[in-house]
Amino acid sequence: MALVLFILALSLTVMRASAAEPAANFRDPAWYSLGRGGVWDVVGTNEVRQAEYAEPWKNNGFNLPLDQAGTMEYEFGVRVLHGTSGGIYVLADATNGVDRGTSYLLWYAESTNGGGRAEFSLAKFIRDQRQSWAPVVRLPVKLGEWATLRVRIATATGEFVVHCNGKEVARLKDETPIHSGNHVSLHTCVSAVAYRDLRIRRIAEA
pLDDT in tens, 193-205: 899 999 999 998 6
pLDDT at position 102: 93
Tell me the C-alpha distance between 118 and 154, whole Å: 25
Mean pLDDT of 33-43: 78
Is the predicted pLDDT of residue 114 greater than 80, yes or no? no
Q: Which tens digit of pLDDT belongs to each residue from 56-75?
A: 555 567 888 899 999 999 99
> What proportion of the chain, given as a percentage, has pLDDT over 70?
80
Beta carbons within 8 Å of 60's beta carbon, 6+ residues apart: 37, 38, 40, 50, 52, 53, 187, 188, 189
Pairing outcome for strands 47-50 and 60-69: unpaired
Euclidean distance between the first and the last CA atom of the chain, given in angstroms as a whole number:
5
Question: Residues 98, 103, 107, 112: is their CA dihedral positive or negative?
Answer: positive
Give the integer Cα–Cα distance in Å for 88 and 61.
9
pTM across the whole model: 0.85
Tell me what percent of the residues of the chain surpass a pLDDT of 90. Answer: 44
**Please, how many CA atoms are within 13 Å of residue 10, restricted to the half-sphere of its CB?**
12
Looking at residue 113, what is its pLDDT?
75
Give all strands (DSSP E) within the chain, no chain letters.
Answer: 2-6, 12-15, 40-43, 47-50, 60-69, 71-82, 85-92, 103-110, 117-126, 129-133, 137-142, 147-154, 159-164, 167-173, 180-188, 192-204
Q: What pLDDT sits at residue 205?
A: 65
Q: Which of 14-23, 48-57, 78-87, 184-193 has the lowest mean pLDDT?
A: 14-23
pLDDT in tens, 144-190: 899 999 999 999 999 999 999 999 999 999 999 999 999 898 888 77
Q: Is the pLDDT assigned to residue 96 strictly greater than 70? A: no
pLDDT (0 to 100) of residue 9: 31
